[in-house]
Structure 1
């Protein structure tokens, strides 16, 4: 009789377990364990940083295609509408269908401040999280990123846990690449695009006219219609050289800011050395990118999103089963 009772109780417990365990339901994408942890977990945000020309946009798109993510632009010139070549915006084809927020949406005459960015980016991140997707913030304007992450009220940090990825390339190695990139931008139509923004009384301290590639062309545009061919060629060459020099100066200014933020945000701050990528060409460069930047970044983000969950998943499921069995045997 006692044996039969024990068998019946076990049958009941197993039956209840079969009904109860499917309720432990994990949605596709990022795992959420709020139902098992009384302390609500912060939402996850990835931030991709680096000086101009290091491949931040490429990395953000690589990651977004693997983690069901959307991208929030944090480049202070790319937020403006227009001058797509001058500001080096990612093209629609390069976006690979990944939604991009705050990219080419601000009136070019408006002064869009770090405070404005913090407000708009917070809304974008909240919207992305609300769709159960991963926000990836990417751009070279470190003042924007700092204003968002370390706002005065600590509102962002109270809601989100951040993983910072820094794509690092030695500046002496980066400068020739930047110079070549400017040449490609000129071939793609930089001069004609900048000409559309030219006005004799233009204020180059406001709006999109602050972008490198616009003020440098001013002198050339002023005499373009009247100067002889030799003078025009000389002024155009000087303007292009100024664009290259100022882009390199920008990179030099960005580097110490990144080091400062790295010291400030040591937790979850990861340096990715892309030196070999810039030393190689063609397929070898792509292979180096996958091996040294994209691959490690994928693992870092995967661990950031999921590492804390497997043990908790097992223990939570086991706890449910034990609770059901205990209730059936008492």
Structure 2
């Protein structure tokens, strides 16, 4: 079988609220997996409601990795994700388990699966400060517009609130003359793994409805109290973690510069836009077996479909 000598790696991707968690647990039980989170926000301790972090009860005994490994003021990067997965995957395999990455952060997952190498392009601290001040004075959308003008593909992939990565993309262009999307396109995109990559998709309006329902649930589960707790611990909205969805939008309400209705409206709008960006990123990826899960009531059919794909990819052992 092609790739039989390579280590096996199962990956499940999809936009926020599409239903990755429930399917991942059932698949992990059947294929004896340990799950590695491919979500750039679930690494942060104390940020549970706003990131829709899986609970201990939902894990149902399945080991999970790369969750709650950083404080909110400690940045998490693509390179750290790669390094940690490099350690975790052979450890999981040594226990006779199948490594299983589950998440929606396309850059992290794609860069690991295909061993992206980002040559050092240096840093320009003064340029970073200038861009950060521009964003502070003119807003994240204006900064994002600067990126859109030089690199519309990266602008489509990066959320306007992700100012750190937007600034880094601008900095790369300034230092190298290349755009981030050009650097990504130049990667060889070969994988050292026997890779089975599953993507979940759904009718767009149904996905948007699920996103809005999830945000209503977050509000009921205490999202405002969670953000207030982070404020009381001394964290500030300019920190990378606090620029994430659910935190950036609620902060102005707590500051008294926004009504709650406005905050929730922005959160739902921004999360819909984020899901669109996730899908845009995934469309550029290769080797994905797409499964439409637009009929949530037919969970068993989706599960059996995915199980058959995995068994077909990895052979009779599964």
Query: Which TM bucket (shorter chain)?
Result: 0.7 to 0.9
Per-residue Cα deviation, 1:122-155 (whole angstroms, up to 9, x for no partner)? 2111210111110110100001001111224699
Correspondence for 1:117? 81
Give the equivalent residue in structure 2 for 1:210.
243
Provide the rounded CA distance (Å) in 2 between the counterparts of 1:53 and 1:65: 21
The 3 A distance-change label for structure 1 pair 245 and 197 is same
The CA RMSD measured in Å over matched residues stands at 2.7
| Structure 1 contact 148–156 (Cα < 8 Å) conserved | no
The equivalent residue for 1:76 is 40
Q: Which residue of 2 aligns with 1:249?
A: 273
Q: Deviation per CA, 1:248-291, whole angstroms, max 9, x where unpaired? A: 11001111111100xxx23xx211011122xxxxxxx1xx0111
Instruction: Go from structure 1 to structure 2 and tell me whether the alpha carbon gap of 1:184 and 1:40 turns closer, same or farther (over 3 Å shift).
Output: closer
Match of 2:107 among 123, 143, 166: 143
Q: Which runs of 5+ in 1 are unaligned?
A: 1-32, 34-38, 225-233, 278-284, 311-330
2:294 aligns with 275
Residue by residue over 1:87-119, the C-alpha shift from the partner in whole angstroms, topping out at 9 and shown as x without a partner, is 101111110100000012122111101111111
CA contact (8 A) 2:237 2:251 kept: no
Match of 1:306 in 2: 315
Structure-2 residue corresponding to 1:90: 54
The Cα offsets for residues 213-255 of structure 1, whole Å up to 9 and x where unpaired, read as: 111112221239xxxxxxxxx7112111111111111001111
1:74–1:140 Cα contact (<8 Å) kept: yes
Q: Which residue of 2 aligns with 1:222?
A: 255
Q: What are structure 2's unaligned runs of at least 5 residues?
A: 118-186
Measured in 2, the distance between the counterparts of 1:72 and 1:179 equals 27
The SS at the match of 2:299 is helix
Partner of 2:306 in structure 1?
A: 297
Q: 1:203 deviation in Å?
A: 4.6
Deviation at 1:156, TM superposition (A): 11
Structure 1 residue 159, shift from structure 2 partner: 4.1
Q: TM-score, normalised by structure 1?
A: 0.70
Contact 1:47 1:164 in 2 (8 A): yes
Distance 1:54 1:158 in 2: 26
Alpha-carbon displacement from aligned partner over 1:265-321 (angstroms, at most 9, x marks no partner):
23xx211011122xxxxxxx1xx0111x211111111222224x79xxxxxxxxxxx
Higher radius of gyration, 1 or 2:
1
